[in-house]
Amino acid sequence: MKKFKPSALYIELTPRVFPEDEQVWNGEVEVNLIMDKQSPLDITSQQDLLNLGQMVAATLGLMEEDKQIVARLQNFIDKKLEPNTMEKKDNIIYFDFKQSKKEKI
């Protein structure tokens, strides 16, 4: 098992499955925010990071309420996550959302 970084906040998505159907995902997920109790971050930074994690996790509920959000997120992914922006190591996929040098804000 991979060792977690003490200062990190992890978002765990656990699929709800139908055991009788050979572990077929039913589309529902359980969302957990995981943070080390021994985080080296100061309390304000821990709270800010947790708040950011909560906002990211809340997008799931927001997507159920507003299908335009789903379309906007999918469009963002299609534009930003080209094959060279993803790196897979073991069971972890890393994404690079940084803009290329050619793009301007």
Reference 15, options 34, 32, 28; nearest CA is: 28
Count how many domains the chain has: 1
Element (H, E) at 15: strand 9-18
pLDDT score, position 1: 52
Phi/psi for 42 (5° steps) reads -70, 165
Residue 77 counted as domain residue: yes
| pTM: predicted TM-score of the whole model, two decimal places | 0.69
Retrieve residue 48's tokens: 């800010």
Q: What digits encode the pLDDT tens for the residues 11-52?
A: 999 998 887 667 888 889 999 999 999 999 999 999 999 999
Distance from C-alpha of 28 to C-alpha of 26, rounded to nearest angstrom: 6
Residue 104 counted as domain residue: no
Residue 4 counted as domain residue: no
Q: What digits encode the pLDDT tens for the residues 46-90?
A: 999 999 999 999 999 999 999 999 999 999 888 877 655 566 677
Residue 16 counted as domain residue: yes
Confidence grade of residue 105 (pLDDT, cut at 50, 70, 90): very low
Residue 89 counted as domain residue: yes
Task: Tell me which residue range forms the domain holding 48.
Answer: 9-95
